[in-house]
Amino acid sequence: MQRLIYLPLGGAGEIGMNMYVYGYGAPGREKLIVVDAGVTFSNMETTPGIDLIMPNMDWIKKRIDDIEGVFLTHAHEDHLGAIQYLFRFANLPLYASRLTARMAQHKLQEADISDPQIKCVEPGKLDEVSVGPFKVSFVPVSHSIPDSMALIIDTPKGRIIHTGDFKTDLDDRDVGDGQLFSSAWRQAAKSEIIALVCDSTNIHVPRLGRPESNITPNLSEIINEAEGLIAATTFASNIARVRHLARAGHKAGRSVVLLGRAMMRMVNMAIETGVLSGFPPLLEPHEAHHLPRNKLLLLTTGSQGEPRSATAQLSRGKFRGFSLEVGDTLLVSSKTIPGNELAVARVLNRLAALGVRVIEDHNGQCHVSGHANRPDVTHLHQLMSPKLVVPMHGEDRHLVEHADLAQANGWNSVVVTNGSVLDVTSGKICEEIDGVGCDYLDGNQVMPSSTRVIRDRLQLARQGSVSIAVSEGRHSDDLEVVCKCVGLFSNAVETLEDAVIETVYSRLKNDALRDQANMAILERELTIAVRRLITKTCGKKPVINILMTTF
């Protein structure tokens, strides 16, 4: 018996970290393709110190020999940022469009993965690739990065559409080429769709999505009317936006300077790969310093408040020779990704305090989303008329809402979250994979999310730490206690460390303890005594390290 399966490993339970598997064959021996290998970002509340979060790939590793190919829908980090971690296990055939392939190549190179088999495909050019039991072709889609595509996956059991991230606007394909939205999708729907695996990101947004052209006049107007220097920040990967800003600046007689590594890398890659043309001439930062402020447009990284980004550095003073001052403008042409609100606010408030005019997107006038909103998703359901709607790319609440919407409109729909295997033909979950979840990149280590490292870090962050060396020498009264408190404050005792040392001495001078043969018990006793002291003195419950030495 052969089965056709869909298994999300990431992205079906969060926005970010996309990784989906399709398989066909005998249960447990299906031939597989992987769609996307993305990361998501950490936060101080749940993942302090973590550099990146990626899907746990234990299952992939076990099944690596069954994987026939990897497809990347577009070049956003949450779709390709983990590609080098997937390629740890094997050098797999990789299919992507121009810009995506270029970004993937860059990531694999940086990870010293040599000779990746990257095959560049062109959505809209009727490319079709055969991988194992699958034939995959590509639908060009509008999104907030060029060269995005949906996948048409033809299987022995019928056609699956995997939308990737997409929006449904009709008129903003001014970067790259390809068919218009409706004709491309209608083409895809000519064969019966057995499953539409569909982006859920904006399922809660009740209004129709807007095309990029909806805001370009506003952005031009802001740039035309500004008087001093203009810094405009957006997602570096939103090449259409970056191009429009640059062209509007150029047209207004301003020289354009890119600030921030991501901005320079994305623009360069987009030009190299041919997805970006007609970009105005650029000046290097050092070439632009002498220009009058009203002849300058800086395109800056940092729309999410990243502390080391160009915008954040400008808010704190000079960056690459530029600084912002009274009469200058910062145009924020982006939305704030949930979790980044406070970081963004810090940057914008510093600039406001400097007298810089800060123009944010309070009313949708400076940014449009790259994702299909609720009515757009409904429209796609109708266009595709699938036998099954499978909500993809969303938190639990998005997936559930998407399935409810589909069902309300008469479609079959099933919520499949990370680690659940869908039998596509029956529309039922047929298996649960153990141990699916995420892994953390922490410094140079990839660690499982289940280690106690995070719990310890959160306690350190909230409660501080007390380290105590207790050393016993060869003479009967040889006893030394040294202490260091980190992340603790007290008004109540002269120094907290002296109070800790006194507490430890007074416990140890009790003979019963002093003679205690079992160091583990002694350690526990001391920990309790010190914790009690700190709780009383500071109201905190720090991590307590007792380090005992004896001669």
Q: How far apart are CA 538 and CA 525, in angstroms?
A: 20
Q: Which is nearer to a second copy, 156 or 307 (CB)?
A: 307
Q: Are strands 3-10 and 420-423 parallel, antiparallel or unpaired?
A: antiparallel
**Nearest distance in Å: CB 523, a second copy:** 11
**Nearest distance in Å: CB 415, a second copy:** 9
Q: Which is nearer to a second copy, 268 or 378 (CB)?
A: 378
For tokens 């234990």, name the residue: 58
Q: Which is nearer to a second copy, 50 or 194 (CB)?
A: 50
Q: Which is nearer to a second copy, 114 or 491 (CB)?
A: 491
Residue 162: helix, strand or coil by DSSP? strand
Q: Which is nearer to a second copy, 54 or 348 (CB)?
A: 348
**Nearest distance in Å: CB 120, a second copy:** 33
416 phi and psi angles, rounded to 5 deg: -120, 115
Q: How far apart are CA 329 and CA 230, in angstroms?
A: 5
By CB atoms closer than 10 A (0-12, 13-18, 19+), residue 399 is: buried
Q: Which is nearer to a second copy, 212 or 442 (CB)?
A: 442
Q: How far apart are CA 194 and CA 155, in angstroms?
A: 10
Q: How far apart are CA 360 and CA 218, in angstroms?
A: 12
Instruction: Please report which helix (H) or strand (E) contains residue 170, including its range.
Output: none
In order of 23, 83, 388, the CA distances from 187 in angstroms are 24, 30, 19
Residue 467: helix, strand or coil by DSSP? strand
Q: How far apart are CA 20 and CA 9, in angstroms?
A: 6
The sign of the CA dihedral 264, 270, 273, 277 is negative
**Nearest distance in Å: CB 337, a second copy:** 9
Burial 339-354 (b: 16+ CB within 10 A, else e): ebeebbeebbebbeeb
**Nearest distance in Å: CB 348, a second copy:** 5
Q: Which amino acid appears at position 219 of this protein?
A: L
**Nearest distance in Å: CB 346, a second copy:** 8
Nearest to 282 by CA among 249, 252, 300, 257: 257
Q: Which is nearer to a second copy, 217 or 539 (CB)?
A: 539
- Does residue 71 contact residue 96 with C-beta atoms inside 8 Å? yes
- Does residue 269 contact residue 99 with C-beta atoms inside 8 Å? yes
Q: Which is nearer to a second copy, 152 or 441 (CB)?
A: 441
**Nearest distance in Å: CB 469, a second copy:** 4
**Nearest distance in Å: CB 368, a second copy:** 17
Q: Which amino acid appears at position 483 of this protein?
A: C
Q: Which is nearer to a second copy, 147 or 328 (CB)?
A: 328
Q: Are strands 134-141 and 128-131 parallel, antiparallel or unpaired?
A: antiparallel
Q: How far apart are CA 472 and CA 515, in angstroms?
A: 11
Q: Which is nearer to a second copy, 214 or 545 (CB)?
A: 545
**Nearest distance in Å: CB 122, a second copy:** 37
Q: How far apart are CA 303 and CA 334, in angstroms?
A: 7
**Nearest distance in Å: CB 478, a second copy:** 5
Q: Which is nearer to a second copy, 212 or 360 (CB)?
A: 360
Q: Which residues pair with 142 in a beta bridge?
A: 167
157 — alpha (psi -120 to 50), left (phi > 0) or beta?
alpha
Q: Which is nearer to a second copy, 240 or 546 (CB)?
A: 546
**Nearest distance in Å: CB 189, a second copy:** 29
**Nearest distance in Å: CB 46, a second copy:** 7
